[in-house]
Structure 1
Amino acid sequence: MITVFGSINLDIVMPVDTLPEPGETVLGHDYLMIPGGKGANQACATALAGSQTHMFGQVGDDGFATEALRLLDENGVDLSGVVHGEHPTGCATIWVDASGENEIVVASGANMQVNARDVPDSALTKDHYLLLQMEIDPKQNWALIERAHARGTKTMLSVAPAGIVPENILEKVDILLFNELEGQAVARNVGMDEPTPTRLPRAMSERYDLTCILTMGGAGALCCGPDGAWSVPALPISPVDSTGAGDAFAGTLAANLDQGRPIDEALRWAAVTSGITCRTKGSQNTIPSKDDVARELDQLPAIKKLA
């Protein structure tokens, strides 16, 4: 069982030849309106990977809300925990250049009204994984992590976008995910002598007794935890749009752990899912099904166990 607590957005994706510099106007040819938000993306990924998923978040009482929830509903995510409030549905504008790199601006709207009190104890049991991200009020994340830890719920925090994570929260998280920039922000806040990015997962794992995963885009990922350490390659692809790839990785990882796979196998499924997501423009709409991922598992180079 997966409980996802986080953001729900409608993404407006604008393909451009090059990303604009400050003060520069860049013309594009078209745009896409796609369901998004890091919380919703992860919930969609866990559902597509085959896990029963319950989404907790908030949208507005507006036209964007229906579209923002559409793919979650189509993929069988339980939306009974989504509140329809007074603030507008969150919206993200995403610029994607010809190489697949992106820049994103998010208007949080209703996401900043998400409250940990809306998650009942029945969604925080020893049989659940709780997934959280950083697109809502962080105080609500911390309050829910405290409750989940006390009840024995396994927690996974994606530090995306980059933000500060209190040390007492790091001591209660089971799995921590970040990219290089996000990891540096976490390390600075806890006074850690900033190791090189590739050494940070081991340093975090040893200091806080958690599983720490560093995602590195086309260079793959590094994972260090109580069960060992692995170097995870990226799926060989020609990227079109990396939006949502990190969320797809996190959601698929959680779903495979939820289904009983060992972490090295779960990392393999997550890496392939993330790679497939980068082949198409968009975010939530690009996350592949479990069957689609299974067909490409043998295309991923071998995961290396580290000493």
Structure 2
Amino acid sequence: MIRVFGSLNMDLVAAADHIPVPGETVLTGTYLRVPGGKGNNQAVAAARAGGAVAMAGCVGRDGFGEILIDNLRRNGIDTAAVRPVDEPTGIAMITVDKAGENIITVASGANMAVTADLFGPNQWTTGDTLVVQMEVPPEETWKTVRQAHERGARTIVNVAPAAPIPHDILEAVDVLVVNEGEAMTVARGLGLTTPDIAATARALVEAGAGACVVTLGGDGAMAAVGDHVYRVVPARITVADTTGAGDTFTGVLAQGLDAGLSMQDALRRASLAAGLACEALGAQASMPAAEAIDAAMAERRI
């Protein structure tokens, strides 16, 4: 079972000619209202890729909250640990330009009410995979990581948005997932100085993480595991919107590892899935199903 602990937002997405600069108003025709939040997105990505998934988080007692819970259920995700609270459901306001780049503002709302008891300490088994991010209170996230680690579950920590990780938590992380900037933030917080991103990934493993996976945007991804560094080159895609690509990568990586794939094979599958997610607008709307990932891997001989 993949257990995702994290954020649930409603995304309000507008496509514009360009991303506005401070003080500028950019007019566009319409917008999309789609379920989002890093926790929510990663749960859906893992479920669509074929995983058995449970979600823990908080939503408001409002229409957005009802839509988010219903969406999780329609994706086959267990919502027993999703708690309605009196704060409004979190929202993300997203503008996407013609090149597929985006700017995002998040109002956290109910996400700040998330607590570690949503997944009780006695629920964890050695067959579980925990996935967390950094959009809910960090102290609750770290409690959850400790609980899962102590009971033998696999722990996957996606440090997004970038934040420092306490050293004792790093030692409880089986797979650290970061982009280049996030990797540097974590390394600096631990007092590590390295010459390049590969050395940073290796240093984070030496500092305690079981493995360090670094997403490299258009350059693919890499993973440091033990004394080895694996690199995956990106598939050729037509970019429409990069929103949710990182969450797709993390969710599909978790599903692959939970299903027993090697790190190399899980990395290849996650990287291709993230690329496929860039070919359509929206975060969850563009996340591929297992059949689409498998077909693309066979077609492109990944």
Alignment of 1:3-18 (within 5 A): 3-18=3-18
Q: Which residue of 2 aligns with 1:257?
A: 257
The residue type equivalent to 1:178 in the other structure is V
Query: Is 1:99 matched up with 2:134?
Result: no
| TM-score between both structures, scaled by the size of structure 1 | 0.95
What residue is the counterpart of 2:294 in the other structure?
294
Cα contact 2:176–2:209 (8 A) shared by 1? no
Spell out the pairing of 1:135-146 with structure 2 (5 A cutoff): 135-146=135-146
Partner Cα distance (1:198, 1:227) in 2: 12
Structure 1: runs of 5 or more not aligned? 303-307
Q: Distance in 1 between matches of 2:269 and 2:63?
A: 35
What does 1:204-223 align with in structure 2 at a 5 Å threshold? 204-223=204-223
How far, CA to CA, are the matches of 1:252 and 1:266 in structure 2?
A: 8
Shift of residue 229, structure 1, vs aligned partner: 2.1
Give the deviation of 1:301 after TM superposition. Answer: 6.6
Shift of 1:299: 4.9
Whole-angstrom CA distance in 2 between matches of 1:289 and 1:202: 32
Q: What code does the residue aligned with 2:140 have?
A: Q
Q: 1:70 to 1:272 in 2, by over 3 A?
A: farther
The alpha-carbon distance between structure 1 residues 236 and 93, as it changes in their structure 2 partners (threshold 3 A), is same
* 1:217-236 equivalence runs, <5 A: 217-226=217-226, 228-236=228-236
Q: Secondary structure at the match of 1:295?
A: helix
Paired positions, count: 302
2:65: which partner in 1? 65
1:48-63, aligned counterparts within 5 Å?
A: 48-63=48-63
Give secondary structure in 2 for the equivalent of 1:135. Answer: coil
Deviation at 1:68, TM superposition (A): 2.1
Give the superposition deviation at 1:300.
4.7
**Aligned match of 1:175:** 175
1:43 aligns with 2:43: yes
Q: Counterparts of 2:111 and 2:91 in 1: how far apart (Å)?
A: 10
8 Å contact kept, 2:91–2:106: yes
- Contact 1:249–1:271, Cα closer than 8 Å, also in 2: yes
Contact 1:188 1:194 in 2 (8 A): no
How far is 1:227 from its partner? 7.6
The one-letter amino acid of 1:193's match is T
Task: Tell me what 1:305 maps to.
Answer: none
The 8 Å contact of residues 198 and 229 in structure 2, kept in 1 or not, is answered as no
Aligned to 1:133: 133
1:10 positional shift: 0.4
Aligned residues of 2:240 and 2:281 also touching (Cα < 8 A): yes
Distance between the aligned counterparts of 1:101 and 1:25, measured in 2?
18
Structure 1 residue 195 corresponds to structure 2 residue 209? no
CA distance in 2, matches of 1:233, 1:301: 12
How far apart are the structure 2 equivalents of 1:242 and 1:69?
24
The 3 A distance-change label for structure 1 pair 295 and 41 is same
For residues 74 and 55 of structure 1, what CA distance do their matches in structure 2 show? 13
Quote the RMSD (CA, aligned, Å): 1.4
Distance in 1 between the 2:297 and 2:51 partners?
Answer: 19
**Alpha-carbon displacement from aligned partner over 1:233-279 (angstroms, at most 9, x marks no partner):** 11211111111111111111111111111111111111111011100
Residues 192-218 of structure 1, C-alpha deviations (whole Å, 9 max, x = no match): 114322431122112224210110111
Residues 301 and 185 (structure 1), Cα distance of their counterparts in 2 relative to 1, 3 Å cut: farther
3-state SS in 1 of match to 2:172: coil
Q: 2:116 matched to 1:116?
A: yes
> Counterpart of 1:269?
269
- For 2:196, the aligned partner's letter is T
Match of 1:34 in 2: 34
Partner amino acid for 1:36?
G
- For 1:296, what is the secondary structure of its paired residue? helix
Deviation at 1:17, TM superposition (A): 1.2
> Is residue 234–residue 300 contact of structure 1 (8 Å, CA) maintained in 2?
no
Deviations 1:17-70 (A, max 9, x none): 111112222222211000000001111011111111110000000011122233
Is the deviation greater in 243-252 or in 117-126? 117-126
- Is there any run of 5+ residues in structure 2 with no aligned partner, and where? none
Name the aligned partner's letter for residue 123 of structure 2.
A
Q: Which residue of 2 aligns with 1:90?
A: 90
Structure 1 counterpart of 2:160: 160
Structure 1 residues 212 and 248: alpha-carbon distance in aligned structure 2, compared to 1, 3 A threshold: same
SS at match of 1:67: helix
**One-letter amino acid of the structure 2 residue matched with residue 25 of structure 1:** T
